[in-house]
Structure 1
Amino acid sequence: MIELHGEIDIASAMAGPGRLAPAAAVSASAVVIDLRPATFFDCSGLRLLLWARRHVRSRSGQLRVVCDDERILRLLRVTGTAALLRPVAMLTDALAC
């Protein structure tokens, strides 16, 4: 599980792939990204999530996103990525999938 804290913007998202790559590199694993500690999330963060999803799926894994912030969820819905990422509000739900 990876928690993304604070502001997830272009500056922090640039370092994201390096931080996510070790977890995403394991074959056939489920990677959980917890966005609940994030205080700001923009399109750079969205790009990071899509990169993680693509990377995890290329190794037959699954990406699970935990998010309960309505602003972030609205961004996911408006861009159509909520259907791809299928965020859940609670960590227990992500771990149960």
Structure 2
Amino acid sequence: MRHESAPLTRHLRVLRERGHTVLEFRGEIDIAAAEEIVPHLDAATAGPDPRVVIDLSRIEFFDCSGLRLLYRARHRVADRHGRLHLVCAHPLTLRMLRITGLSRLLPPRPTLEAALEAAQEQPEATSDPV
């Protein structure tokens, strides 16, 4: 069951899905979009043990500002002993993730369902954060 916890904005929708906060990035993720997204990202990654999925399936453009958002989320979640999962199937964005090495730190899943299943399959006591 999905529960929308923040209003749909031009570049972001925030949902709750299976105990995870899903940040669904939308459209062109550039410096202007990043400024809009940061407060929501920070709210989703605040507190102990955050469970977050960043969904890039609805993006049309993704630059270094988007990469900074992913690194920011990863750092904040790791500091709080939480978990972060990524949804991405766009070939150019996947290439950027591979080139920067981010795909090794945050392996992308092709769909939100696959990311949520991966999150459920991780053992609680033995998993690395993020």
Band of TM-score, shorter chain: over 0.9
Instruction: Let me know the Cα RMSD of the aligned residues.
Output: 1.0
Identify the structure with bigger relative contact order (alpha carbons < 8 Å, sequence gap 6+).
1
How far has the Cα of 1:26 moved from its partner?
3.4
Hey, which of these two has a bigger chunk of strand by percent? 2
Superposed counterparts of 1:46-65, under 5 Å: 46-65=67-86
Q: Which residue of 2 aligns with 1:39?
A: 60
**For structure 1, which runs of at least 5 residues remain unmatched after alignment?**
none
1:77 lines up with 2:98 in the alignment? yes
| Distance (Å, rounded) in 2 between the aligned partners of 1:14 and 1:29 | 21
How far has the Cα of 1:57 moved from its partner?
1.2
Q: Which residue of 1 aligns with 2:112?
A: 91
Superposed counterparts of 1:9-20, under 5 Å: 9-20=30-41
Counting aligned pairs with the same residue, the percent is: 47
How far has the Cα of 1:14 moved from its partner?
2.2
Aligned length: 97
**For structure 2, which runs of at least 5 residues remain unmatched after alignment?**
1-21, 120-130
Q: Which runs of 4+ in 1 moved over 6 A?
A: none
How far has the Cα of 1:12 moved from its partner?
0.9
The one-letter code matched in structure 2 to 1:68 is A
Which secondary structure does the structure 1 equivalent of 2:98 belong to?
helix
Which has the greater radius of gyration?
2
Hey, which of these two has a bigger chunk of helix by percent? 1
